[in-house]
């Protein structure tokens, strides 16, 4: 009897109980919310569309995490700062002057393209610099060390940009063309959300082409498969890693512009929370997998936007939207604990995970 007791995997048991509790809570909340139904169908659709738009941005940022993890097996904690740096610089240096002179309203396409080009350029520059200074010399070091430099780089860039552009929240100029909404399947779709969704789709297709069809993309894939063999095949590892960082940062730079269009404000600290959430998205989809990052981002965005009203309100929790971030973090924690390989990811060996 005693021996049998000892053979039980207590930790496994605790984890199972935890899993069951979460499922019961979510199910209970959902059922209660559905029965009670405090919202109209129209509101639910709005939640959903907002979730998709938000999720698209997460997806774009998440790709950076996933690409870098795929190549270096390292969590680039500073990735949220790549997202922040581009759009902050572009807002201050291009968007605000253009908004003030009215150019942004007269030529919105050219104006936004200029903002996007500068944002991407700054994000990529910051990423390349970080990689060169903080990560490359430590590629052979024990794993904790690059993580610590990544944390350092993250704070460094936050406060560097705070020093450059001030600590206040900076308003991104309004663009007349993007105001209002268009009818869409019986509901109204905000134009900004439409831009976000379309831009994300374009970027994802472009990325897919780059990774799958070009020679450089092939090199990146080879390096993420096996660095040593790739080096033997004549691939310049340092260059491939730099390009990986640059690609991820470019995606983050575009995500930054989309973020500014939707929320119309930028701030030196704006990279932190989206960064963590995009990381959640990357883990959710299976870190190391590019389609996984896209799906994970979308899933997280929807979950976060619908979740509070769906199952937290059903549980009778006051002001559930305050707990939006808790949902994301809880999801992160539970995905990492219960399914670290994510939705699409391959099973990472213990040494990798």
Site for other proteins in 52-71 (CB under 8 A): none
Q: Is 33 among the residues that bind other proteins (CB under 8 A)?
A: no
Q: Quick one: tokens of 150?
A: 């990544």
Piece in contact with other proteins (CB under 8 A), picked from 12-20, 41-49, 196-204, 209-217: 12-20
Tell me the three state secondary structure of residue 341.
Answer: coil
Given candidates 329, 339, 341, 343, which one binds other proteins under the rule CB under 8 A? 329
Given candidates 138, 194, 306, 343, which one binds other proteins under the rule CB under 8 A? 138
> Is the CB of 54 or the CB of 154 nearer to other proteins?
154
Q: Is 350 among the residues that bind other proteins (CB under 8 A)?
A: yes
Non-local (6+) Cβ contacts of 331 within 8 A are 280, 284, 300, 303
Q: Is 5 among the residues that bind other proteins (CB under 8 A)?
A: no
CA pair distance 12, 15, nearest whole angstrom: 5
The 10 Å CB-count burial string (b at 16+, else e) for 20-29 is eeeeeebeeb
Residue the block writes with tokens 């790549």: 82
Q: Is 152 among the residues that bind other proteins (CB under 8 A)?
A: yes
Q: Is 74 among the residues that bind other proteins (CB under 8 A)?
A: yes
Nearest-approach distance from CB 92 to other proteins, in angstroms: 6
Site for other proteins in 265-304 (CB under 8 A): 276, 279, 283
Nearest-approach distance from CB 190 to other proteins, in angstroms: 27
Are residues 285 and 299 in contact, defined by beta-carbon separation less than 8 angstroms?
yes
Angle in degrees, CA 59, 278, 297, rounded to 5:
35
Site for other proteins in 163-182 (CB under 8 A): 163-167
Q: Quick one: tokens of 28?
A: 């209970």
**CA 61, 63, 69, 71 torsion-angle sign:** negative
Q: Quick one: tokens of 321?
A: 């939207």
Question: Residue 170 forms beta bridges with which residues?
Answer: 266
Q: Is 108 among the residues that bind other proteins (CB under 8 A)?
A: no
Which residues of the chain form contacts with other proteins (CB under 8 A)? 10-11, 14-15, 18, 72-75, 92-93, 97, 133-134, 137-149, 151-160, 162-167, 227-228, 231, 237, 276, 279, 283, 317-319, 322-323, 325-326, 329-330, 332-333, 336-337, 340, 350-353
């Amino acid at each position: 009897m005693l021996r049998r007791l000892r053979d039980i995997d207590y930790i496994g048991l605790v984890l199972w109980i935890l899993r069951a509790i979460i499922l019961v809570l979510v199910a209970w909340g959902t059922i209660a919310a559905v029965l009670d139904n405090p919202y109209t169908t129209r509101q639910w659709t709005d939640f959903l569309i907002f979730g998709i738009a938000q999720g698209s941005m997460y997806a774009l940022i998440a790709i950076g995490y996933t690409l870098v993890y795929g190549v270096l097996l390292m969590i680039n904690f500073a990735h949220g700062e790549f997202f922040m740096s581009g759009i902050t610089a572009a807002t201050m240096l291009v968007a605000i002057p253009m908004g003030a002179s009215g150019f942004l309203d007269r030529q919105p396409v050219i104006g936004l393209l200029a903002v996007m080009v500068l944002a991407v350029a700054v994000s990529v520059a910051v990423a390349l610099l970080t990689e060169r200074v903080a990560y490359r010399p430590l590629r052979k070091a024990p794993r904790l060390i690059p993580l610590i430099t990544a944390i350092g780089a993250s704070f460094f860039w936050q406060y560097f940009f705070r020093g450059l552009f001030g600590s206040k929240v900076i308003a991104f100029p309004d663009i007349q063309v993007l105001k209002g909404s268009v009818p869409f399947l019986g509901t109204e779709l905000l134009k900004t959300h439409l831009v976000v969704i379309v831009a994300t789709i374009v970027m994802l297709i472009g990325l897919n082409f780059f990774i799958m069809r070009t020679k450089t993309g092939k090199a990146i894939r080879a390096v993420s498969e096996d660095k040593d063999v790739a080096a033997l095949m004549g691939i310049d590892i340092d260059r491939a890693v730099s390009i990986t960082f640059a690609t991820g940062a470019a995606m983050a730079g575009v995500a930054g512009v989309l973020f500014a269009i939707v929320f119309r404000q930028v701030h030196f600290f704006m990279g932190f929370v989206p960064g963590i959430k995009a990381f959640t998205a990357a883990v959710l989809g299976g870190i190391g997998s590019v389609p996984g990052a896209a799906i994970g981002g979308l899933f997280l965005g929807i979950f976060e936007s619908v979740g509070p009203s769906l199952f937290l309100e059903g549980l009778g929790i006051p002001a559930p939207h305050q707990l939006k971030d808790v949902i994301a973090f809880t999801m992160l924690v539970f995905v990492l604990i219960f399914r670290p390989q994510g939705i699409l990811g391959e099973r990472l060996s213990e040494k990798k995970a």
